[in-house]
Amino acid sequence: AQTVTQSQPEMSVQEAETVTLSCTYDTSESNYYLFWYKQPPSRQMILVIRQEAYKQQNATENRFSVNFQKAAKSFSLKISDSQLGDTAMYFCAFWVSYIPTFGRGTSLIVHP
């Protein structure tokens, strides 16, 4: 069975600073996809960034980047220049054969 662990239930950061959210996963598969999703208080889930396991280069989307360590089964999300609108629940998700597994989430609060 696939598992996803987000060890930080809550994080906080000052506006304009950088924060890193951690995620580890466990699988015996070699071909899979990893995602970070954001769920603001209004609750609609939004895709933040994705990483294909076969790609060594870490994905980047504007202020969001990942540190993908395949051997360590680690997939952390770095948010640079944090903005108030980044306040949300962040979920790490892992996909194998069309079946997704989500972590329990990290609540991020950005303080002005």
Partner 1 sequence: DAGVTQSPTHLIKTRGQQVTLRCSPKSGHDTVSWYQQALGQGPQFIFQYYEEEERQRGNFPDRFSGHQFPNYSSELNVNALLLGDSALYLCASSLNRREDSYEQYFGPGTRLTVT
Q: Interface with partner 1 by CB under 8 A: which residues?
A: 4, 33, 35, 37, 42-47, 50, 91, 93, 95, 97-105
State in angstroms the smallest separation of the CB of 82 from partner 1. Answer: 22
As a dihedral over the C-alpha atoms of residue 83, residue 70, residue 37, residue 84, rounded to 10 degrees, the angle is -10
- CB-wise, 55 or 81, nearer to partner 1? 55
- CB-wise, 44 or 57, nearer to partner 1? 44
Nearest-angstrom CA–CA distance, 92 and 77: 9
CA 70 to chain centre: 15
State in angstroms the smallest separation of the CB of 14 from partner 1. Answer: 25
Nearest-angstrom CA–CA distance, 110 and 19: 10
State in angstroms the smallest separation of the CB of 59 from partner 1. Answer: 13
